[in-house]
Amino acid sequence: MTKVKVCFSLFGDEFPIAYVTESLGVVPTESYKKGDVIERSFKQKGISMKTIFRKETAWELGTDYQESYDVKEQMDQILEPLKNKTSIINQLEAKYKLECKIFIVIVMENGDTPGLYLDIEQIEFANRIKAEFDFDLYANPYIDSIDV
């Protein structure tokens, strides 16, 4: 089954994450500060790994990976709590020189692809807050039934 993950990110050099949370009245699903160590789950014996640090501060609201054939469902989950807060988001962007991005990650299995449809309301919201869209598509291999 295809899985979809959507994340709204407000990011920049340095800004007070708690103030953003309070201003928006929404608890982020993830946040981090510039200079924080990026945790890595891969560790192998005998291999030294270089420590990597966050290059920016971010406040994010996202879904986990969800089985879905319609990206709009995950978009609505993330944008619903934010849609009436465009003026607050714009004020935060101006005050702290922040940027907005909406990430859409799709993992396709066995050639199954979801509908990739953004409605007018989603597009207008992104435009009002000057957000970019970032799409990541992962097509896991599948066996084609056609003889080659």
Report the domain count for the chain: 1
Is 23 a domain residue?
Answer: no
User: How far is residue 123's CA from residue 76's CA, in Å, rounded to a whole number?
Assistant: 12
The predicted-structure confidence for 53-73, as pLDDT tens digits, reads as follows 999 999 999 999 999 999 999
Is 36 inside any structural domain?
Answer: no
Domain enclosing residue 110, as ranges: 3-12+61-139
The answer as to whether 120 is a domain residue is yes
Domain contains 53: no
Residue 50's pLDDT is what? 81
Does residue 122 form part of some domain?
yes
Establish if 102 belongs to a structural domain. Answer: yes
Q: Model-level pTM?
A: 0.86
Residue 10, pLDDT score = 98
Classify residue 76: in a domain, yes or no: yes
Instruction: Answer whether residue 45 is part of any domain.
Output: no
